[in-house]
Amino acid sequence: MADRRDNHLQGRVSVITGASSGIGAASARALAAQGARVVLAARNAEKLNALVTEIRDAGGTATARITDVTRLDDVEGLMEFAASEYGPVDHLVNNAGLMLFSKWSDRAVDDWDKMIDTNLRGYLHAISAALPGMITRQSGHILNLSSVAGIRVGAASGVYSATKFFIRGITDSLRQEVGITHGIQVSMISPGVIDTGWADKVSHTEGRQIAQDLNQGAIHPARVADAVVYALDQPADVTVNDIVIHPTRQDW
């Protein structure tokens, strides 16, 4: 039996989408500090390069590739890049996402489409690109970042919540299929309100105000990164299915 104090992250190859800021960046720092070789993916080259430098200066191992998760060829290229740099991908941290609040009456179709493209297609693209290698090796770990909005719908979060309910559905399905059949670990973390700057990205006035009010008392992304480390730092015969994290003084 493996000692529970063993480090199961040392030398592992961890691909993180949406890694340029927020939960993705905090998770990259935390995983690299535990010895994982992190591959950072996002669209912002300046932020990615700065984070790679920060991790390397701290003694960690990191590299980055500009990636648009809404493009399947981009994500497939990311997995190929990770394998060429460090070897087969052990962990996929599916994190890239958009949280754009609006009322239904706003008819914010552009925002809805952006969330569908990133929060749904982006996750599917990453899973599709990571799965073949994991199935071949009969090992690996897929960690999907969801949200408490995928458990309970709040004001002006209708479409965003729907995308997170989707993530819960595909996570459960993955666990039942590739977990049982191929020994791949599948986990999900559902954070509450995290201070990632998301509220400032909301374009519709009323939705922005709701988001900014909700963001009061939000917790730091590093708290979620702690959960990411915990979920991934497990022996191959253990899966942490579902972790829910939210600020103590908020009800969702």
The reported pLDDT for the residue numbered 2 is 44
| Pair of tokens at residue 40 | 């950072």
Identified catalytic residue from 86, 123, 160, 230 = 160
List of the chain residues with pLDDT < 50: 1-3, 198-199, 207
pTM of the model: 0.89
Active site residue 123: no
213: Cβ–Cβ under 8 A, 6 or more apart, which residues?
none
Phi/psi zone of residue 18: left (φ > 0), alpha (ψ -120 to 50 degrees), beta?
left
pLDDT of residue 199: 47
What does the pLDDT look like over 202-250, one tens digit per residue? 555 554 555 555 555 678 899 999 999 999 999 999 999 999 998 876 6
Please report the pLDDT score of residue 205 as a whole number.
Answer: 54
What integer best gives the mean pLDDT of the chain? 90
Looking at residue 88, what is its pLDDT?
Answer: 98
